[in-house]
Amino acid sequence: MAKNVAIIVLAGLLLVVAGLWVVSNPQWFADPQDADEPPRLVADRHNDDDDDHEQDFSEGIALTPEEAARLGLQTASVEQHVIEETVTVNGVIRPIPDLVASVGSRVAGKVTRVAGNVGDTVQEGQMLAELTSTALEELQTELQTELLQARNRLQLATADLARLTYLVERGIGAKRVLLQKEAEVSSIHVEISGIENRLRIIGLEPMPDGSVPDGTQAASLLTLRAPRGGVIMHRDVTLGETIDPAKVLFRIADMRRVHAEGEAFEIDAAALRKGQPVRVKMPAYPGRTFDGEIAGINYEVESEEKTVPFRVEIANDAPHPLKSNMTAILTVTVGSRGRTLAVPHAAVISDGAESSVFVQEDGSFHRRTVLLGIRDDRHAEVKSGLEAGEQVVTTGKRQLYTILRLGGDTDDLEEMGGD
C-alpha cells in the first residue's frame, strides 16, 4: 500500500515539473511556419481579420495620370450649396390622358388593310386601316338621298323667297309671309349642313353635284385615320377581322410630354403643392435627370396604402426615351435650408455609421472620414472633415477603396474600370 502511494506522489511531482518547463519554453509548441517570426508578429498574424484589415497609407494612393484615366476617376469641388427639403417616392411613367386618342369604326365592317403597328410614330391624318362595309354603303345611299332632297327643297324655297321679296318691295306681298319663307330657307341650310357632317363623320365626302349614287358607285371602303400625331400604344385589329363599332382598334398617345405618377404617404403629402419643382430619375438612364413640376394632386387618400397619388408633367424630348410604365424616382422640393458647405452624394462612401470620401491632393488620393449633416438627393452638408475648394472623387471611389483594401496593389486596374 505504501509503495502505491509513493508511486502516485512521484508521478504528480513529475507532472508539475513538466508543466513548469512548458510554460518557460513555449517555442517548442509553436506552429513550425512561425518559428522564425518574433512573437509579436506571430500573434498579430493569427489575430488578423482579412475582412477588416486596411493598411494606413499616410502618403495616400499615388496614381499616374494614365492609371487615373483607366479608372475613370472624376472629381468635384467641395462648395457651398443650398440643401433642399425634399420628399422622395417611387413612381411610374404614364401618357397624359388628354394627349391620348382612341380610334374605332363608326360602322361595322371587314378589315381589308392594316397600316399601323404598336410602337409606330404616326402623323395626324395618317391612314391606320381600311375596311369594307355593307352598312356603310346603305348609310351613304340614305344620307346622299336625304341630302339631294334637302337641296331640291332649298332650291324651291330660294326661288319662292326671291319672288316674295320682289312682291314685298313693291308693296304687293305680305311681309309676314316673306319672314316665314326666310326662316324656311335658313332651316333647310342647317339641315343640309347636318347631313354633310354626318357623311364626314363616317369618313365620306358629300357628292358635290348632290346626285344619289347607285349600288356600283356607293363607296363601301372606309379609311380609318389618326386623329392626332403620336405613338401607337395599343392595337387590337387583324386583317380580315369583322369589327364592331364599339371596339377600340387603336390608341395613340402624344409622348412629347408625359406624366410621372407617384404616391406620397399622408405625412409627406401635406407638404405637396401644385407647381412644386420635381427631379425625376430613371433606373433605365443612370446619371440623367428629368425636370418637371407637380401638375395635379388627388384629393382622396388610397384606402389600403394610405397614400396620396400625384402627377408630375415632364418633357420627353425626341427620340422620347421615357416609355409608358417605366419605373421612376420622384424627388419633390418642398423647402430649403439655405446655403451650407456640402459634398456631392456621389463622393460619399458609407460604412455603417461612418462616412468617408477620397480627397485628391497633389496627385495622390487620401481617404478621409467626414461628419455629415442634413442632406437631399444631390448633396450632403459637411460638418467636419473637409474644407471649401478641396477636390473629392465622385467617379472611381469604389475602385480606390478596393486598391486600399488590397494593400495598394494597382496591377488589376484594367479589370476594375470606373464606378
- List, for residues 192-208, the tens digit of each pLDDT value: 988 888 877 766 677 66
Task: Tell me what pLDDT residue 4 has.
Answer: 58
29: exposed, middle or buried (Cβ count in 10 Å: 0-12, 13-18, 19+): exposed
CB-based contacts of 402, cutoff 8 Å, min separation 6: 416
Compute CA 231 distance to the chain's CA centroid, rounded to the nearest angstrom. Answer: 17
Give the three-state DSSP class for 16: helix
Pairwise CA distance, residues 331 & 86, whole Å: 6
Closest CA to 156 of 179, 127, 185, 187: 185
CA–CA gap between residue 347 and residue 73 (Å, rounded) = 11
Cell 479589370 found at: 415
Please report the pLDDT score of residue 99 as a whole number. 96
Q: How many CB atoms lie within 10 A of CB 367?
A: 19
**pLDDT for res 128:** 95
**In this structure, what are the phi and psi dihedrals at residue 355, rounded to the nearest 5 degrees?**
-120, 145
Residue-level pLDDT at 210: 52
Q: What is the pLDDT of residue 416?
A: 52
Distance CA 289, CA 377 (A): 11
Question: Which residues of the chain are modeled with pLDDT < 70?
Answer: 1-59, 202-204, 207-220, 407-419
For residues 181 and 165, what is the distance between their CA atoms, to the nearest angstrom?
10
The answer to whether the predicted template modeling score (pTM) of the entire model surpasses 0.75 is: no
Domain 74-96+256-395 has CATH 3.50.50.60: no
Place of cell 420635381: 278
Closest Cα partner for 393 from 372, 368, 412? 368
Can you give the pLDDT at residue 88?
A: 92
The phi, psi pair for 225, rounded to 5°, reads -120, 155
Report pLDDT for 44. Answer: 38
Structurally, what CATH architecture does the domain formed by 98-129+224-253 represent? Beta Barrel (2.40)
Q: Which residue ranges make up each domain of the chain?
A: 2-46, 74-96+256-395, 98-129+224-253, 134-219
- pLDDT for the residue numbered 49: 43
Q: Do domains 74-96+256-395 and 98-129+224-253 have the same CATH topology?
A: no
